Amino acid sequence: MHRTMRKAKANADTAQSQHRVRILAKHVRYSIEMLRDVLPHKTAEKWHLEAIDLQTRIGQTRDMVRANALARELELPSDIAERLQSIASSPTGHE
């Protein structure tokens, strides 16, 4: 599954394919969490962190794209649009 995630990541050039990679990373993450006791520790930790990082980065990118689209759709003033973009780009979801 990890190999599939890495291969999919390398070919994720559209929003739809990135979404699929994010879902796959979620599955890898949860599988590792369930099987952590029977997997080699260093490998499991490395794959787990990679899956979390991938999920986070793709999620942040999708949030930024959506925040920009929403700001345009609502014709928000630039200062509000910039604040929304700042919040969407923050790892914690707030400034």
pLDDT of amino acid 49: 94
Instruction: Give the model's confidence band at 93: pLDDT under 50 very low, under 70 low, under 90 confident, else very high.
Output: low
- C-alpha torsion sign, points 18, 23, 27, 30: positive
Between 41 and 68, name the one with better pLDDT. 41
pLDDT the model gives residue 27: 92
Helix (H) or strand (E) holding 2: helix 2-10
How confident is the model over 37-56, as a mean pLDDT?
Answer: 92
| The predicted structure's pLDDT at residue 95 | 54
The domain spans of the chain are 2-89
pLDDT at 40 over 90: yes
